[in-house]
Amino acid sequence: MLFPIMIKRAIRDFRANLGIQLGTCFVIALSVLVVSFFSTLYVNFLNITEQLGTKLGIVVYIKSGNEDQVPQIYQKLSKLDGVLSVKYISPKDALKKLKRYFKDEPQILEGIKPSIFPPSFEVQVKQALLNPEKLAQIAKEISSWPLVEKVQYGRGWVQSLSGISKIVKLLLMISAIIVLLAMAFVVANTIKLTLYSRKNEIEILRLVGATSGFIRIPFMLETLAQSLIGCLIAFSIVYLGSFYFRNLISHNVILASIGFIFLPIKYTLIITSITIFVCLITTLFSINRALNL
Amino acid sequence: MLIEDNLIVEFKKVSKIYPPNIPALKDISFVITRGEFVFLTGPSGAGKTTLLKLLFRAETPSDGEIWVDGIEVSSISRGQLPFLRRKIGVVFQDFKLLQDRSVLENVGLSLEIMGYGKKQIEKRVKQILNAVGLKGKENVCVAQLSGGEQQRVSIARAVINRPSILLADEPTGNLDKQRTKEVIELLEELNAMGTTIILATHDESLFKNTHRRVLFLKNGRMEA
């Protein structure tokens, strides 16, 4: 019975202090926008590095004369934990690849027979950049197999890209924390202003026997509304901006081939949840302090 | 526990010292029976407001016990405090009304916090406004009312949920002679209906020709 009354009070107070409330929504939207922008950058950076990382797969050379073992080795490689795909490159395929590479100077490969190339496999590993240790572990395991001549992979590249990816992630987290703290500060100040403007009402409410919850909950509901409106504004801008940017890069062959990823729903939900949590905690803290509860 | 069931207030050797070391009340003991109308008087700074504040737990005593309607006031938890306050109506000299709200919203506040519905609130507010002589004023903004009318609104808010006791702290302090008379008559009527009233005032004319009991405070002590 009391909760509908609290909701009505929250709506009435929201309308009565519309200026302050919308100001807070705007600040929350701005904060969420900054975090979302960096998150979108991060997921796209991750996408690019992943694409590169996948291309930087493991090449497994098989000892010559063991072509009959290819199906078994293929099966064994496919079953390895973390392996995304396995592709067999026969000596003939290897020569064809080389010919394509030297198509302007075919004389270089004159007289070369496919048999000089060892049979090989191209192994792609899942999320190689996020987990370079896994890539190294798989490479090490394969190299220990008796029929394997040699294992090659871009260790340096993978480690560099992985390092950059970690730095970007760290920067994103630091910026998110700073922005969220700034947001909490603004929300706390808004609550203080609102509490101050309604000091008289709160005093009367306490006097006539309103419980702490009855005073506190409408404020919490207002903050919840502010957070949701702020997130809605921010994500609308992010998604509209993303559409615009995707259209923009669709005209550029290189950028279009890389592709552009929208901020995933998972990220949207996480950012919204964190925003609501931070705003509610800040509000609760401010009210308790102001009311000396 | 109160010894007699008809006792509604009991002070047992109550003292109040404000920090750093300012004594406001010293060793106060008295009882008030249910349905009584008691005047609390004394010069400014005698401790009248402090005594009332102790009753509705706006302050806690430094020493002693205070019993209100069977509850030891200073020992109750924060969570129980609102329920104590619902048993006590309080009227102030400055009315403590929400000036930008209607009479209905102000008076209905005491019921709203208890979860009453809109229709029930409207019905009860109309009844109480009739009783305090403000019939038909429920939708008027409080700021448009005279001082006397505002004090009536304040009294209506204090008694709408039928509290056991009504505390009035200088309720006529801001009113002229005629409005003062009206407010006192209203309080007399409420008392006749069974509400216990403690009225703090420094205005001797309010109790000079009355048979009511008068508690006199001077320098934080109760005098005979």
Report the complex ipTM: 0.87
Tokens of residue B122, six digits? 């409207």
CB contact under 8 A, B56 and A206: no
Is pLDDT at B224 greater than 70 in this prediction?
no
> Is the model's pLDDT at A229 over the cut of 90?
yes
pLDDT for residue B196 is more than 70? yes
Nearest CB to B113: which of A200, A203, A209?
A: A209
Q: Which of A195-204, B48-57, B163-172 has the lowest mean pLDDT?
A: A195-204
CB pairs under 8 A between A and B: 45
Calculate mean pLDDT across residues B180-197: 90
Are the beta carbons of B151 and B95 closer than 8 angstroms?
A: yes
Give the pTM: 0.70
Q: Which of B78, B113, B157 sits opposite A210 (nearest CB)?
A: B113
Q: What is the pLDDT, as a whole number, of residue A262? A: 87
Q: Given a cut of 60, is residue A35 above it in pLDDT?
A: yes
**Which of A9, A205, A207 has the most B C-beta neighbours within 10 Å, making it the best mutation to test the interface with B?**
A207
Structure confidence at residue A155 (pLDDT): 67
HSE toward the beta carbon, residue A110, CA cutoff 13 A: 5
Cα B122 to the center of its chain, rounded Å = 23
SS3 A85: strand
* Domain residue extents for chain A: 2-51+166-291, 57-153
Cis peptide before A106 (omega within 30 of 0): no
Helix (H, G, I), strand (E, B) or coil at A263: coil
pLDDT score, position B2: 45
Determine what percent of chain A falls in helix, strand and coil, rounding each to the nearest 5.
75, 10, 20
Q: A57 by DSSP, 3-state: which?
A: coil
Does domain A57-153 match CATH 3.30.70.3040? yes
Between the two ends of chain B, the Cα-to-Cα distance in Å is: 25
- Spell out which residues of chain A touch residue B98, defining contact as CB-CB under 8 Å: 200-201, 204
- Which carries the bigger pLDDT value, residue A4 or residue A257? A4
Query: Which of A131-135, A235-239, B70-74 is predicted with the least confidence, judged by mean pLDDT?
Result: A131-135
Kindly tell me if the per-residue pLDDT of A55 is higher than 70: no
pLDDT at B221 over 90: yes
pLDDT at A290 over 80: no
Task: Among A56-65, A247-256, B74-83, B135-144, name the one with the lowest average pLDDT.
Answer: A247-256
Rounded percentage of chain B residues whose pLDDT exceeds 70: 97
For chain B, give every domain's residue range.
96-162
Chain A interface test: which of B87, B113, B119 (most A C-beta within 10 Å): B113
Is the pLDDT score of A143 beyond 60?
Answer: yes
